[in-house]
Each structure stands twice: as C-alpha cells, then as structure tokens.
Chain A
C-alpha cells in the first residue's frame, strides 16, 4: 500500500487537490443562502476562509495537472506562491470568523468583505509571509504563521466548547477539527527540521482531509432545515 502511494504520489496529490477544492466549494455554496438571509458577519468570514482554501487547492490541482502532463515550465514557483498565498489567507479568515465579534464595532459594515481597509492587513501580512518564504526558499514562514493561527483557533474553539458544548454538539467537532489541523501543521514543521520518514507526510494529508470533511459534515448537517 505504502509503495503504491509513493509510486503514484504525484497523481494522488492532484486528486487530493481536486477533492479538497470540491469540499471547500460545497461549503461555500451550502452557506450562501444562510449568509444572504442573515448577512451575518461571522458566516461571511467563515465563507471567505473556505473560498480561499478552495482557491488554494484548485490552484494546486490545476497547476499539478498541467505539470503532470508537461504543460508547465515553472511549476514549483507558481504553486508555491499561489498555493501559499491562498492558504494563509484562508487561515486568517478562519481565525477572524471566531474573533470578529470582539474586534468589530457594532453594526460595522463593509461593501466588500474581501477588499476593505481591515482585510488589507491580512493581504499585507500574507504577502510578507509568501515573500519571505520565496526569498529564503523555504516554507518556514507559512508553517510558523499557520501554527500560530491554529494554536489561537484551538484555544478559542476549546473555550467555545467548554462554555457551550453541552448545548451545541458541533462545537466539539469544531475543536477536534482545528486541533487536528494544528497537529498536521506541527508534523509538517517537524519535516523541515528532522529527517523523519517521508511517510509522515501521508499522515499530514490524512489529517487535512479529516479537517475539511468535518467542516463539510457540520455545514451539511446544520445549514439545512
């Protein structure tokens, strides 16, 4: 099984990108009606997070497929920059969807939640992270930023679960999903510093799939009557 995975890893990566892009797209589409009805800022940022995750995995899928069939000259540069940019933006929005109530003044409204003065800060920080990784030829800045983001999100989602977990069952799954993602990022970072078996990367992929499937499950279960 392991050998088969290693032999077909490029094809599997393409497939992985496609599956996660579709999962994120379904999450964005399934929450469209709820957002349109409520115009709730939290739902808005939550959707933005999965919109960016969708772009990240879609770019990975398209560029991976083009590279696989030999149509792309500089695969690593394009994938690194685009994938990393969209992924980091997704992380910022996911964390912000948990924090916005404590930050935004009541009734604050913006014409666009993707382009406004506040969100410009996310773009700026993401740009810096991507640029530093590009200059240092590494993924370290992205990984560190994601560990910080998911560590904060883990703490917030645990508090939410501790406070309201008995009344709202999905808060437990939310916390588990975020914790799994944090573990995946920590495993990812360990690959940069320790010469562990590359097989550990498979675990990272599996944890990521569980993370997105848990969110998909929650969205499908809770967004319908």
Chain B
C-alpha cells in the first residue's frame, strides 16, 4: 500500500503541477492531485491563503490557478523545509 503523503508533500505536489502547467483549471488540478474533492478544496484554500497560488478569472466563468513567486520560492526550498520539519518532528 502506498504511504500516506504528509501535508507538506501534498502541497509540494500540487504546486509542482500548477508550476508545470503555468495555468491550470481547478478540475484538472483535482485529477492530478490524487485527493478527494473535500481534501482538494481544503488544500487549495490553504495555498490561496498562504499566497502560494493565485486564482485567475479569465472570463466566461473560466477560472484557472497559477503559481506565485512565493509558491516558486517554496518549491525551491522545499527540500530544506521538509528536512527541517521531519528532523524536528514538527
């Protein structure tokens, strides 16, 4: 059985998908994230609140997500953050 992903790892996975797609629709991001719709909503809300991604309104009810500078910086430093958190059991 696959190991349950840690919160930080899920955040990294979502951000990577958003970064690689540059601009991605919520439904496509949901499929790529391998999360339940409820969990997906919670993670996306957290990422929006933290300013790691932003929502773009492209008209005709077409909404997409894109990564922010802060989100990019998080991905660059992800390994350091993950190592720190796991070594201190936080």
Contacts and interface: CB of A to CB of B under 8 A. Distances in A.
B46 A43 contact: no
Contact of A37 (B45, B46, B74): B74
A46 B88 contact: yes
B69 to A, nearest CB: 11
Contact of A156 (B7, B85, B89): B89
Contact of A222 (B45, B49, B77, B84): B84
B42 A107 contact: yes
B20 interface: no
Q: Which of A37, A156, A160, A174 has the most CB of B within 10 A?
A: A37
A224 B77 CA distance: 10
Interface stretch (A16-24, A61-69, A118-126, A165-173): A165-173
A46 B45 CA distance: 24
Nearest to A159: B89
Interface residues of A, number: 31
A181 interface: no
Contact of B80 (A164, A174, A218, A225): A225
Interface string B55-89: 00000000000000010011001001101111111
Q: Is the interface of B mostly helix, strand, loop or mixed?
A: helix
B87 A174 contact: yes
A40 B87 contact: no
Interface string A90-115: 00000001100100001101000000
A45 B89 CA distance: 12
Contacts of B87: 168-171, 174, 218, 222
Contacts of B85: 38, 40, 42-43
Interface of A: 31, 34, 37-40, 42-43, 45-46, 97-98, 101, 106-107, 109, 156-157, 160, 164, 167-171, 174, 218, 222-225
26 contacts: A31-B84, A37-B74, A38-B8, A38-B77, A40-B8, A42-B88, A43-B85, A46-B88, A97-B88, A97-B90, A107-B42, A109-B46, A156-B89, A157-B89, A167-B86, A168-B86, A168-B87, A169-B87, A170-B87, A170-B88, A171-B89, A174-B87, A222-B80, A222-B87, A225-B77, A225-B80
Contacts of B74: 37-38
A105 to B, nearest CB: 9
A213 B46 CA distance: 35
A62 to B, nearest CB: 29
A34 B88 contact: no
